Amino acid sequence: MSVAAPMRMQPADLTRTASVGLRTRKLRAALSALGIAIGVASIVAVLGLSASSQAGLLAQIDQLGTNLLTVTNGKDLAGEETKLPKEAPGMIRRIGPVQQVQYTGVIDAKVYRSPLIPKVNTNAITVAATSLGLPDAVRTSVAQGRFLNAATAEQAVAVLGSTAAKRLGIDRINQGQRISVGGEWFYIAGILKSATLAPEVDSSILIGFPAAQRFLGFDGHPSTIYVRSATDQVENVHGVLAATANPQNPTQVEVSRPSAALVARAAAKSALNGLFLALGAVGLLVGGVGVANTMIISVLERRSEIGLRRALGATRGHIRTQFLSEAILLTMLGGVIGVVAGAAAVAVYAVVQDWEIVIPPLAWGGGLGAAVAIGAVAGLLPAIRAARMSPTEALRTV
């Protein structure tokens, strides 16, 4: 007489059987799944926020243009800062692909809103002479008032960068309002919006070159030249800028590309994600320990159920599969909750920051995969232990 081979459990039956422990012990299951959810949410949030912030930054850079180059003072062999020739902007304009050339020159002067402010409270504000087309070159505009023109560039009139205005405590322009610049009183003509590609402009007080020479004894040498070139010729222009700006000493000229610096800064910032991912992994590990503890207790509490099922024909494989599936189902539940919570956090923060919402597949896929893997590992030992129980041993607890 042949013995029939034990039947495999159908997926629907396996799911229903595996969920018995979760449905009958809801609070314990919820607390166990919480640890997994926190770990997965951390991973999704970290990767999603990083991807969204980088996408937002790259979109902003594309909008501002990647064809801006800056030429600044370099240093000589003695380490002393050199000066760009006064003719440098004009010489750079002769480069064929160059579309715009604007420039500023730093002035050694202090700025105060009132003569009653102590001299040491300089607020780290820079005074700079500027050409008249600077806002368009650095892709910013006037938030209040107006920028300098041919007339005001020769008078004691200043425009405030966005950060400089905040440091001076000026949020609006009042008629006749003045500030002290290098001991001279300058009327305020306008306040600029933030210049993402030229943050040095934000902390500057800008005045015209003629006014700087007339009132502050400025020597007229530019210290920073902003160059816009044809987008497909940026690298070629970059290669000749130093020699064009200072033919006699091209090694004493610094040439940079602000958009490249911003991208590098974003990459450096994303390198810190490893720390937060490690914290998320710790959360998953703690959650996995909680699941393992829950499953071990579940096996002890359900010995009578195990014995009854074995007596009714369930094999060791059936019991092992049931408890292993229960552990995986528990961690998968926590993983799904974690993915939803992490994605919601990314979406809310991205909307507030006006970023594109980006959740990489690695974030949610890796989070769910890690949750399932932890469930399999955490439930394996309790499942094996449950399967090894003989029907008589298990039924003794009934």
Domain-located, residue 347: yes
d(CA 327, CA 378): 7
Query: Does the residue 6 lie in any domain?
Result: no
321-330 as b/e: b if 16+ CB within 10 A: bbbbbbbbbb
Domain end: 233, 256, 279, which one?
A: 256
Query: Domain range for residue 354?
Result: 11-61+268-395
| DSSP of 355-369 | ------HHHHHHHHH
pLDDT of residue 357: 84
pLDDT for residue 312 is more than 70: no
Higher pLDDT, 148 or 174: 148
Q: Are residues 207 and 85 in the same domain?
A: yes
Which two three-digit tokens encode residue 84? 């760009």
- Same domain assignment for residues 210 and 273: no
Indicate the number of domains in the chain: 2
Closest to 45 in 3D by CA, of 200, 381, 273: 273
Judge if 282 and 315 occupy the same domain.
yes
For the stretch 102-147, pLDDT in tens is 999 999 999 998 887 777 777 889 999 999 999 999 999 999 999 9
Percent of the chain having pLDDT more than 90?
Answer: 33
Same domain for 374 and 275, yes or no, is yes
Q: Answer whether residue 5 is part of any domain.
A: no
178 in a structural domain: yes
In terms of domains, do 125 and 84 share one?
Answer: yes
Least confident of 1-5, 156-160, 176-180: 1-5
Residue 180 three-state SS? strand
Note whether 135 and 113 are same-domain residues. Answer: yes
What pLDDT does 75 receive?
83
Clarify whether residues 109 and 50 are in a common domain: no
Q: Can you say how many angstroms the Cα of residue 20 is from the centroid of all Cα atoms in its chain?
A: 43
Fill in the amino acid letter for 236: N
* pTM check: above 0.75: no
For position 94, what pLDDT does the model report? 93
Answer yes or no: do 234 and 329 share one domain: no
Average pLDDT value for residue range 194-206:
91
Write the CB contacts of 279 (distance below 8 Å, at least 6 apart in sequence): 42
Residue 92: inside a domain:
yes
d(CA 42, CA 188): 48
If asked whether residues 328 and 368 sit together in one domain, one would say yes
Instruction: Kindly state whether residues 92 and 195 are assigned to the same domain.
Output: yes
| 323 and 241, same domain (yes or no) | no
Among candidate residues 205, 228, 256, the one where a domain is terminated: 256
Residues 19 and 88 in one domain: no
Q: Is 259 in a helix, a strand, or coil?
A: helix
pLDDT the model gives residue 150:
94
Domain end marker among 205, 231, 256: 256
Hey, what are 377's tokens? 């590992």
